[in-house]
């Protein structure tokens, strides 16, 4: 027991310091808490002076919520702005330093591309009437807004609602420039958001004069011309500096729809549009009615350029090809292309004919097409209905889901892995990692041959091939080896065409079937020469040699199967009169995209149809409108030429007897497959039920024969 009277033992110096620190912490924390409580109480008493009630309190609450939502809105706006500002990366101010003149396959000039800086006329040197005509028509408040004209947009919305149609546009010149410099013409919400942010960005980085200069130099003006100086030379044979008011009004009218109002195509429409521009000048207060009267009475006369349309979508693609193959220091060039004006015209006519006839019925507004000859020469490109309305090339830049038109890549991989057209695979229901694809008609196909599966476009068969036999990687590798440059997703749904591909990719891939299994021959530039005649590129000599990607046996199997699609499959509307053709239809989910890609021994053509905003069509399949567009084009393209057989098939002509036998043979194969499936069908009764049925059978067999009861008639007969 410790004696309390004894003195305690003194603690060491370390313990004393620790006790001091502990005491300091305790006191400091107490003081901080005490001071905080004092401050909070004082602050509460102070702010009680500002406490409001009634309607004032409601106002304060609304302002508070507004600030909160505003802060959140700023964060959202910043997130939306980031993708737009990424478009400004790189030297976007630089103009193309190439000047290329393009010739068709026969040596005729078809257009030019490339903007030379010296061709640009400064805004200060342009006539006053040119600037006023453009501003009065395109953006009257150009010098008053900061990229987005809210008043002009509101006025346009009001006028469009009142007219129940689009009669006025609300985009400012800055917005149009942002679209021309950085964006495409796709009608999507994402594009409009980017356009708004980029307009503000341009206003912050450029002066009004610089924005107007770029707009006048970069806008498409019809006839294959870009920029107002090039348009003045093309239509009037003079510089923009020398334009009179009537000519300035005609050029200003082209910005809205350069193809529709191009004077060398439709002079009456161009003059009517110029008259509208003159009225705009008066309405805007830029000129009086007396000043424009002379221009109304004496409309502009143009230089006769003929009615030959410029193949602008083809030229845009060919210009990109030139920039890929041109050597450093070579900027002024002449390109000999593989373009065929007759096939181009037929392709455009077929697309426009069917869109006019059936566009409303199917709720489809756009289409694209690429035609490649068997030697790899790209003969025609349709990038859309109207280049003046949209310079976005849907044939070479739009990534659209391919649907069942992707299946030939799956079947080609299967043929290389030992399958044949007569191989039988189950077309019944299948699940793959939670994914359960269905056939178009919703039913089960049972056991079918691969010939039937591809002709009838059965979905479950290629999925089963990929899941149980092939895998995704070999299929992706096959598509890429066949010339597909679009990024393909390594996902199981890829086998049914969920990856986006371009029309050019589809035409390139299918052309392998027409080119005996070889890839690497597709080209649009056959020769590139300088202005002095020096050859700097020759496809025949400088292009890498083609390489085989499909064996002869696999190619024969594939072409045999694909040739059955127009005969007894989903593409009967694509069948050519007395000519053997092959191909595959494609339809995506909700009918957003419809494809037909087909070939003969002479040509391969890919057709896509849909809407720019990805809205669904009205039940349009690849076997309907796209197949009809393809058929009309190909029927023309094969007139008066030497028909070539499809590789692996004996002749290019349809033999009705052979076709009938093929259909009959396919029916027999289907019946045989169904019989095999029935024979191999597993038992569905339990062992107890089966045994009971067998016992009942034996009882019936051993039971005595029952005699009919005796009647007076039978007794009398005895």
Check residue 68 and give its pLDDT.
Answer: 75
**Which strands sit side by side in the sheet containing 593-599, from one edge to the other?**
378-382, 366-373, 603-610, 593-599, 582-587
CATH number, position 176: 1.10.3810.10
CA 113 to chain centre: 24
504 shares its domain with 647:
yes
- H-run or E-run covering 448: strand 447-449
Residue 48, domain member (yes or no): no
Mean pLDDT value across the chain:
85
672 or 188: which carries more pLDDT confidence? 188
Residue 2 lies in a domain: no
pLDDT at 684: 44
Q: Do 292 and 349 belong to one domain?
A: no
- Confidence check: pLDDT of 210 > 70: yes
Query: Structural domain of residue 516, as residue ranges?
Result: 342-668
Q: Is residue 704 part of a domain?
A: no
CA geometry: angle 407, 411, 412, nearest 5 deg: 115
CA dihedral 248, 250, 252, 256 (to 10 degrees): 180
Q: Domain end: 279, 306, 333, which one? A: 306
Query: Which CATH number do you get for residue 515?
Result: 3.40.710.10
Whether residues 292 and 415 fall in one domain = no
Is residue 192 predicted with pLDDT exceeding 90? no
CA geometry: angle 640, 644, 649, nearest 5 deg: 145
Rounded to whole angstroms, the Cα distance separating 338 from 88 reads: 34
Residue after which a domain boundary falls, among 259, 278, 306 = 306
Whether the Cβ atoms of residue 267 and residue 146 lie closer than 8 Å to each other: no
Give the pLDDT confidence score for residue 714 in this predicted structure: 47
In a domain, 717, yes or no: no
What is the share, in percent, of the chain residues with pLDDT greater than 90?
54
Looking at 282, 306, 330, which one is the last position of a domain? 306
Among the ranges given (69-78, 592-601, 680-689), the one the predictor scored with the smallest mean pLDDT: 680-689
* C-beta of residue 478 within 8 angstroms of C-beta of residue 554: no
- How many other C-beta atoms lie within 10 A of the C-beta of residue 589? 12
Would you call 547 helix, strand, or coil by DSSP? strand
Residues 376 and 232 in one domain: no
Check: CB of residue 174 under 8 Å from CB of residue 199.
yes
CA distances (Å), 462 to each of 406, 416, 670, in order? 10, 14, 17
Least confident interval from 65-74, 500-509, 591-600:
65-74
How many structural domains comprise the chain? Answer: 2
For residue 208, tell me if it sits in a domain.
yes
Choose the most confident range, by mean pLDDT, from 228-242, 384-398, 467-481, 644-658.
467-481
Same domain as 460, residue 557:
yes
Residue 69 lies in a domain: no
Residue 486 and residue 619 in one domain: yes
Q: Do 402 and 457 sit in the same domain of this protein?
A: yes
Q: What are phi and psi of 597, to 5 degrees?
A: -120, 120
In a domain, 673, yes or no: no
Mean pLDDT calculated for residue range 277-285: 93
Q: From the CB of residue 184, how many other CB atoms can be counted at a distance below 10 Å? A: 16
Q: Which two tokens stand for residue 23?
A: 């005491």
- H helix or E strand, kind and range, residue 425: strand 424-426
H or E element, residue 692: helix 687-702
* Backbone CA torsion sign across 273, 277, 282, 284: positive
Same domain, 623 and 527: yes
297 and 401 both lie in a single domain = no
The distance from CA 355 to its chain's CA centroid, rounded to whole angstroms, is: 18
Q: Which segment, 9-23, 299-313, 514-528, is predicted with the most confidence on average?
A: 514-528
Say whether both 230 and 356 belong to one domain.
no
Total-model pTM? 0.73
Domain for residue 563, yes or no? yes
Bridge partners, 99 (sequence order): 332
Shared domain check, 365 and 265: no
Q: Are residue 537 and residue 634 in the same domain, yes or no?
A: yes
pLDDT tens digits along 31-90 = 888 888 888 888 888 777 667 667 777 777 787 777 777 777 666 666 666 666 666 666
pLDDT category of residue 423 using cuts at 50, 70 and 90: very high
DSSP code, position 543? S
């Amino acid at each position: 027991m410790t004696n309390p009277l004894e003195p305690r033992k003194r603690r060491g110096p370390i313990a004393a310091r620790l006790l001091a620190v502990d005491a300091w912490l305790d006191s400091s924390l107490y003081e901080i808490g005490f001071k905080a409580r004092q401050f909070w109480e004082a602050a509460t008493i102070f702010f009680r002076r500002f406490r409001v009630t009634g309607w004032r309190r409601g106002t304060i609450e609304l302002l508070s919520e507004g600030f909160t939502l505003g802060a959140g809105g700023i964060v959202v706006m910043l997130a939306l702005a980031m993708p737009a500002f990424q478009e400004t990366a790189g030297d976007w101010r630089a103009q193309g330093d190439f000047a290329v003149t393009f010739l068709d396959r026969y040596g005729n000039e078809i257009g030019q591309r490339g903007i030379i800086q010296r061709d640009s006329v400064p805004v200060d040197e342009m006539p006053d009437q040119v600037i006023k005509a453009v501003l009065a028509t395109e953006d009257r408040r150009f010098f008053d807004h900061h990229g987005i004209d809210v008043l002009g947009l509101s006025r346009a919305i009001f006028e469009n609602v009142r007219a129940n149609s689009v009669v006025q546009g609300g985009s400012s010149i800055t917005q149009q420039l942002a679209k021309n410099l950085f964006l495409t013409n796709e009608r999507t919400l994402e594009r409009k958001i980017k356009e708004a942010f980029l307009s503000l960005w341009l206003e912050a980085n450029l002066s009004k004069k610089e924005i107007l200069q770029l707009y006048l130099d970069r806008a498409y003006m019809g006839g294959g011309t870009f920029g107002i100086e090039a348009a003045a030379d093309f239509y009037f044979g003079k510089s923009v500096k020398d334009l009179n008011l009537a000519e300035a009004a005609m050029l200003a009218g082209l910005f809205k729809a350069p193809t529709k109002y191009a004077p060398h195509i439709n002079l009456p429409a161009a003059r009517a549009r110029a008259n509208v521009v003159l009225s705009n000048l008066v309405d805007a207060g830029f000129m009086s009615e007396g000043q424009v009267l002379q221009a109304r009475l004496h409309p502009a006369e143009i230089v006769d350029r003929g009615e030959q349309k410029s193949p602008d979508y083809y030229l845009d693609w060919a210009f990109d090809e030139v920039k890929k193959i041109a050597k450093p220091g070579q900027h002024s060039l002449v390109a000999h292309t593989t373009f065929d004006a007759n096939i181009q015209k037929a392709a455009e006519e077929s697309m426009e004919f069917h869109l006019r006839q059936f566009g409303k019925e199917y709720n489809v507004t756009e289409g694209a097409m690429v035609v490649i000859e068997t030697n790899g020469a790209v003969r025609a490109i349709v990038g859309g209905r109207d280049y003046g309305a949209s310079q976005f090339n849907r044939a070479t830049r739009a990534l659209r889901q391919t649907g069942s038109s992707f299946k030939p890549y799956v079947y080609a991989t299967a043929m290389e892995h030992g399958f044949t057209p007569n191989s039988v695979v189950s077309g019944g229901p299948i699940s793959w990692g939670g994914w359960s694809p269905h056939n178009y008609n919703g039913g089960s196909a049972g056991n079918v041959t691969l010939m039937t599966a591809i002709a009838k476009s059965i979905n479950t068969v290629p999925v089963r091939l990929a899941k149980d036999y092939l895998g995704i990687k070999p299929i992706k590798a096959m598509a890429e080896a066949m010339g597909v440059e679009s990024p393909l997703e390594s996902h199981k749904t890829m086998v049914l065409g969920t990856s986006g591909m371009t029309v050019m990719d589809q035409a390139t891939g299918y052309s392998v079937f027409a080119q005996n299994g070889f890839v690497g021959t597709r080209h649009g530039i056959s020769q590139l020469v300088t202005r002095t005649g020096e050859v700097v590129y020759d496809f025949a000599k400088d292009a890498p040699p083609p390489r085989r990607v499909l064996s002869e046996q696999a190619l024969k199997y594939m072409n045999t199967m694909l040739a059955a699609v127009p005969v007894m499959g989903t593409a009967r509307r694509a069948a050519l009169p007395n000519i053997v053709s092959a191909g595959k239809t494609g339809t995506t989910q909700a009918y957003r995209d419809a494809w037909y890609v087909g070939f003969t021994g002479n040509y391969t053509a890919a057709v896509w149809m849909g809407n720019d905003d990805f809205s669904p069509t009205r039940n349009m399949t690849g076997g309907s409108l796209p197949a009809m567009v393809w058929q009309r084009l190909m029927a023309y393209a094969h007139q008066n030429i030497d028909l070539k057989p499809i590789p692996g098939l004996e002749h290019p002509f349809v033999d009705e007897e052979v076709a009938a036998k093929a259909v009959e043979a396919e029916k027999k194969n289907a019946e045989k497959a169904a019989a095999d499936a029935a024979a191999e069908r597993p038992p569905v009764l339990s062992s107890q039920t089966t045994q009971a049925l067998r016992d009942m059978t034996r009882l019936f067999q051993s039971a005595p024969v029952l005699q009919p009861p005796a009647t007076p008639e039978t007794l009398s007969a005895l």
